[in-house]
């Protein structure tokens, strides 16, 4: 019998259950503290230099920058998840990330200047930017790099906490593999120094996430470094069906199918999860379920 993790939630699993509000709170608090701290230090510098700027002006400068950064967080999170950097492929991503840093800086500056202009207009004044894009880019590229490193490091920690799946391979002595890799029935999961097996039949659904396919098993998520198309080719087609460009579903776990007026559908799984089903995948689903 394959060993399974304890049903009692660990500290890591308790964190994973609340990770979304923690992540949102982190960015909100970080940007708030950045705006407050930078406003205070710049205000001190302004007073020392005798520049005569009003306090609301200083706050608008720093708060505008922080709000612009906060607005770009969802896009940055999506981008780094869609095109992640790995130690063996980082050089391939370098040109893409260099271009992204320019786009990120232009968006940050555009939003920041827009916020500042709006605040100045509210006070009957006019804000002048002076087209200092190169100066802003030299600052923004460091911020962008810091966020990229932070997100990749955080995702690496998450994979260690929630476990990372892999296909079983042949042992080093050349003996036959425990399971045929071409049609695996079990996956090896490494989690915080422990290893256990997950049966393919226990996988309820799979979601694409960049270079990973997230295996959803009994309320837990295990990333597998594979594209969804490659994983689909290895899984039993009588059991797993592509129902969306980013979703595979174990047909045995479908409780009901809810048709939509658009021709798409919602799949209600036994555990209450709702998975989208696109119109072009409905025929394959009907063939697999007989519905």
Low-confidence stretches of the chain (pLDDT < 70) are: 1-9, 168-183, 290-291
Three-state SS sequence of the chain:
CCCCCCCCCCHHHHHHHCHHHHHHHHHHHHHHHHHHHHHHHHHHHHHHHCCCCCHHHHHHHHHHHHHHHHHHHHHHHHHHHHCCCCCCCHHHHHHHHHHHHHHHHHHHHHHHHHHHHHHHHHCCCCCCCCCCHHHHHHHHHHHHHHHHHHHHHHHHHHHHHHCEEEECCCCCCCCCCCCCCCCCCEEEEEECCEEEEEEHHHCCEEEEECCEEEEEECCEEEEEECCHHHHHHHCCCCCEEEEECCEEEEHHHEEEEEECCCCCEEEEECCCCEEEECHHHHHHHHHHHCC
Per-residue model confidence (pLDDT) at position 7: 54
Per-residue model confidence (pLDDT) at position 173: 44
What is the model's pTM? 0.72
Indicate the average pLDDT of the chain: 86
Per-residue model confidence (pLDDT) at position 78: 92
Per-residue model confidence (pLDDT) at position 169: 54
Domain 182-289 has CATH 3.40.50.1360: no
Per-residue model confidence (pLDDT) at position 2: 46
Q: Give the start-to-end residue ranges of the domains of the chain.
A: 11-162, 182-289
């Amino acid at each position: 019998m394959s060993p399974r993790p304890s049903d009692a939630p660990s500290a890591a699993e308790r964190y994973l259950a609340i990770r979304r509000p923690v992540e949102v709170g982190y960015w909100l608090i970080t940007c708030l503290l950045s705006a407050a701290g930078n406003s205070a230090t710049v205000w001190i510098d302004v007073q020392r230099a005798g520049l005569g700027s009003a306090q609301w002006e200083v706050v608008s400068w720093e708060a505008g920058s922080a709000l612009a950064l906060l607005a770009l967080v969802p896009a940055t999170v999506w981008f780094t998840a869609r095109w992640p950097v790995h130690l063996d492929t980082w050089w391939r991503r370098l040109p893409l990330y260099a271009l992204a840093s320019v786009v990120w800086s232009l968006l940050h500056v555009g939003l920041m200047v827009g916020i500042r202009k709006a605040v100045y207009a509210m006070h009957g004044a006019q804000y002048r930017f002076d087209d200092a894009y190169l100066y802003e880019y030299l600052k923004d590229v460091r911020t962008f790099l810091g966020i990229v490193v932070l997100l990749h490091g955080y995702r690496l920690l998450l994979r260690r906490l929630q476990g990372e799946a892999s296909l079983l391979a042949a042992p080093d002595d050349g003996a036959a593999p425990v399971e045929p890799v071409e049609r695996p029935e079990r996956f090896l999961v490494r989690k915080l120094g422990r290893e256990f097996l997950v049966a393919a039949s226990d996988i309820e659904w799979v979601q694409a996430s960049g270079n990973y396919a997230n295996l959803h098993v009994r309320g837990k998520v295990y990333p597998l470094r594979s594209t969804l198309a490659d994983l689909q080719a290895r899984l039993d087609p009588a059991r797993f069906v592509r129902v969306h460009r980013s979703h595979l579903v174990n047909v045995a776990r479908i409780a009901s199918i809810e048709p939509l007026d658009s021709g798409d559908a919602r799949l209600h799984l036994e555990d209450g999860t709702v998975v989208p089903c696109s119109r072009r995948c409905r025929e394959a689903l009907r063939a697999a379920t007989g519905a």
